[in-house]
Structure 1
């Protein structure tokens, strides 16, 4: 159910941003709001608190966004609170930002290596991923995991390209044991 709520509200905000021709502006505003919420987790506790009325929650949200977000983005967040869906707010935000990235052809990849990659290696990985995906740009999250021994593990969405030495050793071991 949570995914349906995230999608319904996130898609509504995305469609609104398209209709008003303000996709980038709304995305910037929503990113700022997401960062503020992440830096202040007690804010979500306040929005979910059962002893605080919806009207008080709406007032808090309006005060927080006053001068920081457009009327449409503020209206979206107020609508979420009025519907009692504030518990799903972060999922809605993530859905909206994902829709914006898809619209703008911006990919997201997780790259795991055995040791930290140099800037030149990162540039080569980014170039290759852009060629492979056809995206205009790509956001890459780099991680280090010495247990993969060498090579790279690249995850884009639900697709994984595992070219690590650990996987190659495991595959070879299985092949030897099965022969």
Structure 2
């Protein structure tokens, strides 16, 4: 919990700095890269979380991995976090930065689980629905296919969920029969 708060505060500070430097988009791309690399490399995450690994070694590894690929502000930020002994929150900071950036820009993520792959028309309909209901400026649709749904879809946006799957309807009907409601 405390690490999440610290990560959130560091991310907020980095967003403020990026705005001052007029490099918000570039640093957002750097945070996406950082998030992806740490997510795909459990070894790097283990090194960053390990208090036994010397700080200069951690800084050197991050320099080798990200050095020329990221903005100068991002490089300075990574060194600062490592030198303060907070390298364990880098992953959380990157995630928090992306969330705060999305909130700032009005971008929401809609997770759609459907029985079959969505068509372009389905995506456009979901995009329009989420923009209308949530008031988002942009919608990022993440799709999953689950054939156990039989048909329909489940839409999640933030902490809200809309279940229009046939499997859900059948389960609801089954419960009603079991309770003698129907």
- The superposition leaves residues 144-172 of structure 1 with CA deviations (integer Å, 9 ceiling, x where unpaired) of 11222221110011110111112222223
What is the CA distance between 1:178 and its match in structure 2? 4.1
Whether contact under 8 Å (2:123, 2:141) holds in the other structure is no
- Separation in 1 of the partners of 2:32 and 2:149? 33
Match of 2:6 in 1: 5
CA distance in 2, matches of 1:115, 1:63: 42
Instruction: Give the Cα–Cα distance (whole angstroms) in 2 for the partners of residues 118 and 56 of structure 1.
Output: 48
Residue 141 of structure 1 corresponds to 142
Q: Using the alignment, how far apart are the partners of 1:69 and 1:50 within structure 2?
A: 25
Distance (Å, rounded) in 2 between the aligned partners of 1:88 and 1:178: 52
Aligned length: 179
Q: CA deviation at 1:138?
A: 1.0
Extract unaligned runs of 5+ from structure 1. none
Partner of 1:26: 27
Structure 2: distance between partners of 1:2 and 1:22: 26
- Map 1:36-51 to 2 at 5 A: 36-51=37-52
Cα distance between partner residues in 2 of 1:34 and 1:85: 16
Indicate if the aligned counterparts of 2:48 and 2:58 stay in contact, CA closer than 8 A.
yes
Q: C-alpha separation between the residues in 2 aligned to 1:51 and 1:144?
A: 43
TM-score (norm 2): 0.86
User: Would you say the 8 A contact 2:7–2:96 is kept in 1?
Assistant: yes
Stretch moving more, 75-84 or 155-164: 75-84
